[in-house]
Amino acid sequence: MAGAGAVGFPRELMVQRIQSLVEEGFWDALRRLKLDVLGTDDSPIPITGYYTPRQRRPMASFFNLRSGSLVPPSHNSVGDRNNCPVPGTLINTNNMRGFQNLDRVQLLKAEAKKILQDIVSGKVEEDPSVLLRFLVTSFADLKNWKVYYNVAFPSLVFNSRMTLLSLQPASKVLTKEEAASMHTSLQKWRASSETTVIPFFLVSISSDSSASIRQLKDWKACQGNYQKLLFGFYDHGCRSDFPGWVIRNYVAFLSIRWKIEKVQFFCYREYKGNPDLEQSLIGEASFPSPCGWDDPDFLPDAIGWEGINPGKGTKEMKPKEIDLQSMNPASQDEEKQLMHLKLMGWRHFPVNIDKLSHVRVLLLGAGTLGCEVARLLMTWGVRKLTVVDSNSVATSDLVKQSLYIDKDCGVPRVTAIVPHLKERCPAVDVEGIQMEIPVPGHPVSSSKMASVLDDCKHLQTLVAANDAVFLLTDKWESRWLPTLLCASENKIAISAVLGCDSYLVMRHGAGPGTSGGADEVITQIVNLSTEDALGHQRLGCCFCNDAASLINPIPYGTLPGLTSVASGKAVELFARMLHHPDEIHAPGDTAGMETEHQLGLLPHQLRGSLPKCVLSMELSNSSVNCTACSVAVLSEYRRRGLDFVMQAISYPTYLKDFTGISDLKRPDTCPKIPASISVNSDKISDVRCLLLGAGTLGCDVARILMDCGVRKLTVVDSGRVVVSNLARQSLYTSDDRGAPKATAILRHLVERCPSVDAQGIRMEIPMPGHPVSPGEAAGVLQDCERLKELVASHDAVFLLTDTRESRWLPTLLCTNENKIAITAALGYDSYLVMRHGAGPGISCEASSVATATDKLSTEDALGRQRLGCYFCNDVIAPVDSVSNRTLDQQCTVTRPGLASIASGRTADLFTRMLHHPDGIHALGEIAGTSSGHDHGLLPHQMRGSLSQYNLLTLLGYSSSNCTACSNAVLSEYRRSGMDFVMQVINEPTYLEDLTGLTDLMKSTSYSQVEWVDETDEDDFFEV
C-alpha cells in the first residue's frame, strides 16, 4: 500500500504493509499435529502469532509464527517485550484442491467481522491485541513434506475517507522535556511484563511536560487530565512517511467504539531495545464516522491477504511454498517410513509406534519365512531384530527368499540379510547370528558336545534378551528348544509352519504361573501351575497337539504364495497381540466372536489352505504331555537346566519316555513335489504377464509369479521410488530412491532370476473422470493406444494400482480382448482378489471381432454366463478419487501384512486358472463345494479380512450396467475406439449415462448410495 508521491498534507492515510515470517518450526509442528493428532479433522485451529514494534533500523519488523504458535494465546504465555501474542486462526485443508477452493474473500470477511464485534462489544479495551487478529490458510502436503500457505492480516475497509493531516518524527513534535519524560515512561511500560505485550496504549502529556502511558481501558479515567493525548501503538514499520498497517483497525476502533473523528497518534518504534523517538512518528488523522456499522448483521469488507495489492487489480494469489525436507534430514527418513502407521490412526487404529519400535524380536530362521517376516515386522515399525540361521544363500533360494539377490549366493544368510534390511530401513537395529539350533533326538559326537552346549547356552541368552521369538525354521524339531525356552521365560513365541499347500500360524501360550512366592523364576521348580500368571488356562504350543501334523513342514515344494500369506498373518498376529492389554496372556479368540478392538480378533492358531481357499481359527490349551511346554518338562528344565536339554538331544527316546507321548518327528508324508498340482512349467514360463502397478502389490506379485515359474513380465508404473516405499514395497532399496519404479523393479527381478525376460514401462494409466487439457490430449491418447497394444500382446493382466479409476481402462481392454485379468485391491484390513470374467462371445457367425459391435452376447465363447469384473457392483462410474481425499485415503492405508497376503493369493489364483482346462472361461467356484479337478478350488473372487480372519469365496456375474465390462460399454468402444475412451476420460458422467447408471441412481433404491472407496471396502457382499 505504500506508494510514491506521499508528499504534502492533507492526504489520504496510507499505511505500510505488514509481512509474516513463518518459521519452519511452525510448519514442522503443524505436520506433526496433523499426523499425530488432527488426522482428517480440518476445522479451524486457534493459533498465536507474535507482533513486535520495529526493532532495527532500517528494517520493518515481521509478524512471527513459530513452533509454539499452534495454541491459542491464553494457553501460551510466552509473550515478552518483543513478542506480543496475537490470536489467529489456521485453516489447514486436507488436500490441494480443498486449499485452492477456499473462498478467501469470505474467510477474510469473517475474520474482519470478529474484529468488528470485538470493537463494538468493548473487548478491544480489555485485550487490544484482538485488533491484530490474523488468518492463515494452508495445505500441509505430508506425503511430499511441503506446505502451501497464505497469511492475511484482516483490515476493515472503512467506508469513509481517512485523512492524514500531519506526520513527523516524534522528536520533532515533542519538546525536549516531553521527549525525555516520554522516553522514561515508555521504557517502564516496555519493562513491565504486564504491559509490554499490549500493543495499543494511550500517552497523556500533562502541562508540566510529564508523560504517562496508560491502557486503553483507562481512556475514560484520563479524560481531561492532560494537555495532550496521543493514541499510541507498536508500529512494525520503518517508513517515515507512512504509519504501519495496524493503524487502520485502530482508527476503526476509535471511530466506532469511541466516536472519535480526529486523533493524534503515536507510532512507537524501537532501536536496540530502547524507544526510538527519532524514528517513531506522531501524526494527526481525521475520519468521519462510517455508516451502517452498528447493524449487527453488517459484514464489513476487508483487505489483507499477503501478496494482493488492493486497488491494483486483484491478481491471482499465489500460495507460498515451503519445503520441509531440508529440516532434520536425518530423522526424516524414519518419519517417512512410519507415516503409514500414523495414518492408520486417522480413521482406524492408533498404533503404539513407541512400543513397536522398542520390542526386541528374535527371528529363528532367515529363509523363506524369515525374509518375509523380518521385512513385514519393519513395516509394522519394529526396529530391533536379531536373526539366527545356519545356512548360506543358495541360487535356488533367490526367487523364494524375498531379500536375497544373486551376489549373496554362498554367503551365510545371517550375513546377507543385515544389509538388505538396513537398505530398506536404515533405522533398524539388526544383528545376524550364525548358529545351528540344537535339535532333540539327534545324538552328537563327543567332539561336538561342547559346541552344541555352547549353542544351547547362546540360545538361552538370546531368548532371555528378547521380548518375542518367531519360529520360522524349516526343520520341525529345531522349534523344540526355543519353544521350551520361551515357555520357561514367558516370552511371546510365534510359529509359522508351511506345508506343501497349507500353513499354520500360531502364538504359543504364556508360560506357567508359579504358585509359590516368587524368587527367581529359575528357582521355581515344583510349584508350576497349569495356569498362566493371570490365572488363565495356558494356551498350547506347536508341540502340544496334532494341529501341526496336518501341516507337513518341508523345506521345498511349498506352493508359491504360501510364504507371503503365512508371513503376513504371523506378523499381523504379533502386532495384534502387542496391542492387547494382556499381551502373551490374552485368551484366544475364535471365529465369529464379537470384538470391539479396532484390530479385530486375536486368535490362537490360524490354519489355511490355498487350494481349498479356507482359513480356520483354532484354540487349544497346553497339553500335560507336551514335550516342550508341559509343566513336567519345564520343571525338569528348571531343575536341571541344560543337562536336561543335552540329554533330550543325545537320547532319541528320552523326551518320549519322559512325557509318554509319541515321537517328536513327524512323518514326512508330503512328497517332494506336491502331487496335487501338476505343474505345466512350459505353459507358465511362456505366459506373458502384464503388471499394472509396481508398488506394494506389484513388487510382491512380480516376485511370487517368478517363484511360480513365470518368466515373461512387463511392469507398468508412472511413479518413482521414495523413502516411504522402502518398508512396504518389498523389492526396492535405498539405492533406488528417486528412480522410476518401472526401471528399478527390473534390476531387482533380474537379481533374483537372471533368466527372467522383464521390461518396465513408465506410463500413467489414463483414468476416467480426469479431464485432460487440449495440450495433454495427444499424450493421453498415446498412452491409451500404448496400453491397448500392451494388453493385446500379453496373455494376462494384473491390476495392482492403488486407485480404483486406474483399473477401468485395463478392465475394458481385457474384456474386449478376452484376456485374463486379475485384480488385487486392498482395504484397511481386508483385501479383494478376483479374476475378471471372459469377454462376451459373439452371437452371430461373425467375421472379425472389430466389426461385431452390436451382437455381443451376455455369454462367453463357451456359452457360459460371463463372470463379473471389478466394476460390476459399482453404482457410480469411476472418477477422480484422489484430489478431494484426505491423505490417508490417498495413501491407501492398510495393515502392513495385508499386501503380502493378497499378493500370495493373487499369484496362486492365477496359476490355478492357468492350469484349469477352461482357463479364463472356468466357472467360479465357492469354497466347500467339490472342485471336481485336482488343481484346487478356482473361485471368482476371494475376500479376506484380518480383523475377522475370514476368507470368503464369492461369485458374481457381469452386470449389464457395468461401466467397464457391460455390452453397452464394449459395443461403444468397438464402434468408436479411443474416441470413446477419451470422452470417458473427459466427461465423468458419460459412462453413467451410457450404462444406465444415471437412471438407476435416480430410482429411489439407489438414492442413498454413497461413494464407497477402496479403503472403506470392508463391507462384504455376497452374491
Asked if 231 and 253 touch (Cβ cutoff 8 Å), the reply is no
Report if residue 814 touches Zn ion, rule: CB under 5 A: no
* C-alpha distance across the termini of the chain, in Å: 67
Nearer to Zn ion, 202 or 962 (CB): 962
Q: Minimum Å distance from CB 483 to Zn ion?
A: 7
Report if residue 547 touches Zn ion, rule: CB under 5 A: no
Asked if 263 and 282 touch (Cβ cutoff 8 Å), the reply is no
Stretch that binds Zn ion, among 495-503, 666-674, 904-912, 959-967 (CB under 5 A): 959-967
Q: Which of 542, 891, 962, 965 is catalytic?
A: 891
> What b-and-e string marks burial along 824-845, b requiring 16 or more CB atoms within 10 Å of the CB?
bbbbbbbbbbbbbbbbbbbeee
Q: Minimum Å distance from CB 573 to Zn ion?
A: 17
Residue from 869, 891, 946, 954 touching Zn ion (CB under 5 A): that is 869
Nearer to Zn ion, 235 or 874 (CB): 874
Nearer to Zn ion, 392 or 625 (CB): 625
Residue from 414, 821, 882, 962 touching Zn ion (CB under 5 A): that is 962
Q: Minimum Å distance from CB 814 to Zn ion?
A: 11
Residue from 135, 472, 872, 997 touching Zn ion (CB under 5 A): that is 872
DSSP 866: P
H/E element, 465: helix 446-465
Query: Radius of gyration of the chain from Cα atoms?
Result: 36
Nearer to Zn ion, 765 or 965 (CB): 965
Please state the separation of Cα 102 from the chain's center in Å: 25
- Residue 290: asked if its preceding bond is cis (omega within 30°), the reply is no
The footprint of Zn ion on this chain (CB under 5 A) covers a number of residues equal to 12
Residue from 541, 753, 791, 901 touching Zn ion (CB under 5 A): that is 541
Stretch that binds Zn ion, among 22-30, 40-48, 131-139, 866-874 (CB under 5 A): 866-874
Q: Minimum Å distance from CB 713 to Zn ion?
A: 26
Q: Minimum Å distance from CB 541 to Zn ion?
A: 3
CA distance 180 to 277: 10
* Residue the block writes with cell 474416441: 979
Nearer to Zn ion, 509 or 936 (CB): 509
Nearer to Zn ion, 385 or 631 (CB): 631
* Residue the block writes with cell 471368482: 940
Binding mask 482-521 for Zn ion (x = CB under 5 A): ----------------------------------------
DSSP 510: P
Which residues are CB-neighbours of 40 under 8 A, at least 6 positions away? Answer: 94, 346, 347, 886, 888
Residue from 476, 543, 798, 808 touching Zn ion (CB under 5 A): that is 543
Asked if 205 and 230 touch (Cβ cutoff 8 Å), the reply is yes
Nearer to Zn ion, 630 or 903 (CB): 630
Neighbour tally for 914: CB within 10 Å:
20
Nearer to Zn ion, 587 or 719 (CB): 587
Nearer to Zn ion, 484 or 723 (CB): 484
Q: Minimum Å distance from CB 544 to Zn ion?
A: 3
Question: Kindly report the CA angle at 227 between 221 and 233, in degrees rounded to 5?
Answer: 65
Binding mask 819-858 for Zn ion (x = CB under 5 A): ----------------------------------------
Stretch that binds Zn ion, among 471-479, 546-554, 619-627, 890-898 (CB under 5 A): 619-627
Q: Minimum Å distance from CB 866 to Zn ion?
A: 9
Q: Minimum Å distance from CB 902 to Zn ion?
A: 20
Q: Minimum Å distance from CB 496 to Zn ion?
A: 16
Cell of 367: 529363509
Stretch that binds Zn ion, among 286-294, 648-656, 864-872, 939-947 (CB under 5 A): 864-872
Burial class of 347 by CB neighbour count within 10 A (0 to 12, 13 to 18, 19+): middle
Cell of 417: 540379510
Residue from 18, 544, 577, 744 touching Zn ion (CB under 5 A): that is 544
Between residue 620 and residue 659, which ones bind Zn ion under the rule CB under 5 A?
Answer: 626, 628-629
- Residue 891 a catalytic site member: yes
Q: Minimum Å distance from CB 622 to Zn ion?
A: 5
Residue from 965, 969, 984, 985 touching Zn ion (CB under 5 A): that is 965
Crossing angle, helix 642-650 and helix 480-489, to 10 degrees?
A: 160
Q: Minimum Å distance from CB 605 to Zn ion?
A: 12
Asked if 495 and 506 touch (Cβ cutoff 8 Å), the reply is yes
Please state the separation of Cα 261 from the chain's center in Å: 58
* Residue the block writes with cell 511371546: 492
Phi and psi, residue 654, nearest 5°: -60, -50
| Residue (of 687, 906, 689) closest to 791 by Cα position | 689
Amino acid at 201: F
CA distance 791 to 745: 20
The bridge status of strand 614-618 relative to strand 757-762 is unpaired
Between residue 73 and residue 102, which ones bind Zn ion under the rule CB under 5 A?
Answer: none
Neighbour tally for 686: CB within 10 Å:
13
CA distance 625 to 684: 47
Which residues are CB-neighbours of 16 under 8 A, at least 6 positions away? Answer: 1, 2, 60, 236, 237, 238, 239, 242, 243, 244, 245
Cell of 482: 526355543
Stretch that binds Zn ion, among 155-163, 401-409, 869-877, 993-1001 (CB under 5 A): 869-877
* Residue the block writes with cell 486462526: 89
Q: Minimum Å distance from CB 625 to Zn ion?
A: 9
- Which region, left, alpha or beta, applies to residue 103 given φ > 0 means left and ψ of -120 to 50 means alpha? beta
Nearer to Zn ion, 777 or 875 (CB): 875
CA distance 85 to 656: 77
- The residues with which 964 forms a beta bridge, in sequence order, are none
| Residue (of 654, 559, 574) closest to 608 by Cα position | 559
CA distance 459 to 464: 8
CA distance 513 to 11: 90
- Residue 988: asked if its preceding bond is cis (omega within 30°), the reply is no
DSSP 37: I
Nearer to Zn ion, 622 or 894 (CB): 622
Q: Minimum Å distance from CB 754 to Zn ion?
A: 39
Q: Give strand ranges (E) for 52-133.
A: 63-65, 84-93
Nearer to Zn ion, 547 or 684 (CB): 547
Nearer to Zn ion, 544 or 787 (CB): 544
**Which residues are catalytic, by number?**
891
List residues near Zn ion by CB under 5 A: 541, 543-544, 626, 628-629, 869, 871-872, 962, 964-965
